[in-house]
Amino acid sequence: MKSSKNTIGLELHPKFVLMVIFAALLLIDLGCSEDKRGLQPEPSPTFIEKGSAGSFELTAVYDRIRSCPECGGIFIAQLKTSQDFSGIIKLQLEADPVLNATLDRAFLDTKSNVAEITIQPGLKAEIKNYEIILNAYHAGLTKSLRFVVEMYPYQQFDTSWVVTKRDEFMPWLEHEHPEFADVLDQEWFAYLTYPQIWVVEHWTFLSDEWELRICFHVMIPPYDWSMMRLRKRGESEPIFAARRESDGTIHEIPVSDYPIMFGY
């Protein structure tokens, strides 16, 4: 009796086997190469505008601030250029998403030479230092400016009474300095300038046009003085300050007399 042969596969030609092995090795090699490329840092973008020339520096008015979850903060960067500078500076911001950092402009030049970074840390912000990097590109050159946000375990309370302290200056400002009349008609975001500082409280109010700072001595008369300071958004330095005495009288003071802490 002849035995029947049960065929469960096809007999493969040796050349076909070699081709399959070669293809498999090639795919493995390509995969490894792709993995290696993925580990390499991406190159910084090159920005070269026609007619760009000269050198530049990007400097920080201050590079470190305090903040807290659901508080705020602002950094100011200023462009300084050589006499032969031409073209524009392209800006790019790097920050942890929890900071909700915003850059107010994408470009700088000799006419618009100030950039501002505002933050509004979320409730999930950790109590640690966060770094923000501002990159500047011009004529194939990249420069970076670093800022630090020190996060403190603090909670902002109702700001209505702080608004009252701010508004005590408004009628006087409107009457004595009408050049600042538009300060009265702004939508503000308020936050503690220096979390965990008491006795003299410091607050910042930000609108699209102005940065208004206020500080006041948390004491009873005659020691309950307060001060205010104004900076136009888009300018690097404050331009006006005033002091309110315990008896309600208000007078202008030098900007340098407005008290600051921690360098900002």
| Tokens read off for 46 | 């090159």
Q: How many residues does the chain have?
A: 264
Question: 226 lies in a domain?
Answer: yes
Do 146 and 190 fall within a single domain?
no
Give the residue, 231 or 32, on which the prediction is more confident. 231
Encode pLDDT of 43-70 as tens digits.
334 444 555 788 999 999 999 999 999 9
Do 64 and 100 fall within a single domain?
yes
Domain count, the chain: 2
Q: pLDDT at position 51, please?
A: 58
Q: Which domain holds residue 203?
A: 160-257
Do 168 and 251 fall within a single domain?
yes
| CATH for 73 | 2.60.40.10
Do 69 and 147 fall within a single domain?
yes
Do 146 and 105 fall within a single domain?
yes
Q: Are 242 and 173 in contact (CB under 8 A)?
A: yes
**Amino acid type, 70:** E
CA distance 89 to 106: 8
